[in-house]
Structure 1
């Protein structure tokens, strides 16, 4: 866009108010059909030359304009002069908002709209020529600039009070407005009779406006709630993290598969042992035993112990001591399991397992055996299956890592969704309400 010099704006024209005889400053007489006297609020209609006639007197302003009429500012390299200020409300509701009419001498008019401290700049086909390509219809969704705009609001705006100059009669214009949003953008369709026009809006931060017009940011109204097109920082984070986290999870899985390829699982032994029971002081005990010797050939390995027995309505526990036969170093682990089943109220039930798994990590290279000390509440339990696997695939750790990677993206998704739900609370067309 071209940045204009101040000299691009035409010279001011001065006319006399028909009601209070005060002098009124007009910035663009050629397009001025109506003007409001800042002294007495007289609403004057342009008849010819510099002649105006009194139509009526408008209400007093409810708010003090943040931007003074006549101010010049540069927004996105486009120079604007503020030529009017309007206070509006939605017909048959209590919703009110403020609009500042901006004039760019080379291009045309734009509007700065403020509602509950949320600002947007709205421009027409003079700035976005492809707006004329949007077809009129009754769809709740419009595709524009590679974004899907969803129906957000339908309303009839009414002027409460105004100040400045206008190119149309703002008191009798019967416009039906329809807003479509795709944060931080908005499409506004204004329809009068069979004629319609689209406008494109973008959320704008108060700081940017304050900088453009050299205004103290502290004079701006405080934000209330969430604006219709207010951008969500969590949406940006979610969109970024969705891709990054997906790639990270793929990386973790590839590393897991690579480690499995470089250090494949190896079954060291798989054997069913006979349990020998004895009675000591009236208590049932099971004689301990040792496994056959086996070799760990990698410099460091994890070992998975799998024990199983067909217990029923009972339990079994085993303490296992891994012994290095070269230096007598030991590693001890204990694990138990229980299984119960029955039939009640016409249905069978069961709980527990008939097996358990135990993992040891960083076991050095060497020759080993296992001393096994079983315990059971079942005096008839006669076998215990034991399997030892080296370099067992540690899917649990991998899945926990993937889950940890998903925690912050999940938090951002929750905050993003909550933000969107609050945004759509202000709409009768919320996708979050069936």
Structure 2
């Protein structure tokens, strides 16, 4: 449809089919009465934060609407809100109301569907829901644009708004008539997408039907399902977990020196969990190192770790001190079920020498010579407390140092080889002791209820926090209402 302004001859078009009574000329802003084709008055152009244009199309809830008219209403001296009159292709009405960046989508409803509890009640009922009166507002039309099927009333209009969560009932008394509208909050992003708008007014404050930031009921439903799944998972882990030591062995350092030992296999069953490893060696003012590789026999995946065991002590300045420990513990995290074995290697700080009972020694003139079964020669000058080690007796006899001269002078004419003739002992395994071995113990950790409990506690705290936050949100929403259901401080 198109109309030509009788004053400025500007053509005004709209792609909609409904009975138009008045329109505002887009050029000269005269309000034209269609029946008389004359101007009834000049109205202001709507410019205060208007983001839609007359004739603009958009899809809301799968229905295409055209913007038929725009009205800006004014309350007091400086409070404005915008009303966009919409028409679908069947000529049905809908409205978009925007105030302080908050949007409401409204449709007309029959007066008979709105029930009052009493003539002065603050509550009305619609579709079995109660709506509490938020405020009564008196306003007038400040500016307008577009096409209208009813004559605009520039006199004082009275609005009563009744609210229930994100829904509202709007009662408008204008020109001696009362109309009712049912409105719901609509996201500004949905409006932006529907009409393909680049920019929208920013939020200010809290809208009277603005939803809380979190859907608490939906969150509770999700948390309940999550809690049930967590409980079932915890039950599964608890009933399938093998909760006992899976590997324990004492290993001599000499058996794994410069090589790896393959341990016996062990099986882990149940859900993934840490494997706790404890290593012990009786180090004393020395150190030891243990290297472990956990091998999954099904996938050949290897987890490598290395741990130092150190223990030192002494006396300094008359005070005893100590540091380190003979025991170290660590976890291999996230080990899944399956069949495993360890690859083990270890080493320790070797002692300087050993006073083996099978060693031979000879003393004369304050000089002591000791030969151990391996052939090493150790010479000690008891007068000076100096000591020197030689790889064999021949090296000692050929030594040209002062030590060699002292020995030749002291044992002149004596056959050191016969004096220190020690037959090698047969090779017998050295018994494993705390100092020459390391104890390794691996434990498949028992089920921990800590993570299970902390998740449930956090979920509960979050729900309580959201309930409290929603209460504060609603208190803030109703603070500008004279009919607030919340005590006002």
Q: TM-score, normalised by structure 2?
A: 0.49
Matches within 5 A, 1:136-285: 136=116, 137-172=119-154, 174-192=156-174, 195-216=177-198, 219-234=199-214, 236-237=215-216, 240-241=219-220
CA contact (8 A) 1:32 1:46 kept: yes
Q: Which residue of 2 aligns with 1:100?
A: 84
1:112 to 86, 93, 96: 96
Counterpart check, 1:415 vs 2:469: yes
Residue 36 (structure 1) aligned to one of 5, 18, 24: 24
**Cα offset, 1:30, TM superposition:** 5.0
- Which residue of structure 2 lines up, in the alignment, with residue 123 of structure 1? 107
Shift of residue 400, structure 1, vs aligned partner: 10
- Tell me how many residue pairs correspond in the alignment: 269
The alignment status of 1:72 with 2:60, answered yes or no, reads no
110 and 405 in structure 1: CA distance in 2 versus 1, 3 angstrom threshold:
closer
Q: Per-residue CA shift, 1:279-311, capped at 9, x if unaligned?
A: xxxxxxxxxxxxxxxxxxxxxxxxxxxxxxxxx
1:212-246 CA distances to partner (integer Å, 9 max, x unpaired)?
22222xx1111111111011133x22564389679
The corresponding residue for 2:70 is 85
User: Match of 1:61?
Assistant: 46
Tell me if structure 1 keeps the 8 A contact 2:155–2:175: no
Equivalent pair of 2:115/2:124 in contact (CA under 8 Å): no
Is contact 2:54–2:68 with CA below 8 Å preserved after alignment? yes
The 1-side partners of 2:203 and 2:3 are apart by 37
* Structure 2 segments unaligned to the other structure (5+ residues): 235-452
Deviation at 1:145, TM superposition (A): 3.5
**1:235-282: CA deviations, max 9, x gaps?**
x22564389679979x99xx9xxxxxxxxxxxxxxxxxxxxxxxxxxx
CA RMSD, aligned part only?
3.4
Calculate the TM-score normalised by the size of structure 1: 0.55
> 2:16 touches 2:66 (CA, 8 Å); kept in 1?
no
1:46 and 1:193 mapped to 2: Cα distance? 19
Q: 8 Å contact 2:106–2:183 — kept in the other structure?
A: yes
| Partner-residue secondary structure (3-state), 1:32 | coil
Structure 1 residue 175 displacement after superposition: 3.1
Q: 1:40 to 1:400 in 2, by over 3 A?
A: closer
Is the contact between residue 238 and residue 409 of structure 1 (CA under 8 Å) also seen in structure 2? no
Report if the CA contact (8 A) 1:245-1:405 is conserved. Answer: no
Q: C-alpha displacement at 1:59, in angstroms?
A: 2.1
1:13 matched to 2:2: yes
Tell whether the 8 Å contact from 1:17 to 1:37 is kept in structure 2 after alignment.
Answer: no
- Identify if the C-alpha distance between structure 1 residues 409 and 29 changes in structure 2 by more than 3 Å, giving closer, same or farther: closer
1:148 and 1:86 map into 2 onto residues whose CA distance is: 29
**Separation in 2, partners of 1:210, 1:138:** 39
SS in 2 for 1:421: helix
Q: After TM superposition, give the deviation of residue 13 of structure 1 in Å.
A: 2.0
Structure (1/2) with the larger strand percentage: 1
Q: How far 1:167 sits from its partner (Å)?
A: 1.9
SS in 1 for 2:34: strand
Provide the C-alpha distance between the structure 2 equivalents of 1:196 and 1:36, rounded to a whole number of angstroms. Answer: 24
Structure 1 residues 41 and 248 mapped into 2: Cα distance closer, same or farther (>3 Å)? Answer: same
Q: Which has the larger radius of gyration?
A: 2
Contact 2:73 2:141 in 1 (8 A): yes
Are the equivalent residues in 2 in contact too, given 1:117–1:223 (CA < 8 A)?
yes
Which of 409, 424, 429 pairs up with 2:478?
Answer: 424
Separation in 2, partners of 1:414, 1:195:
42
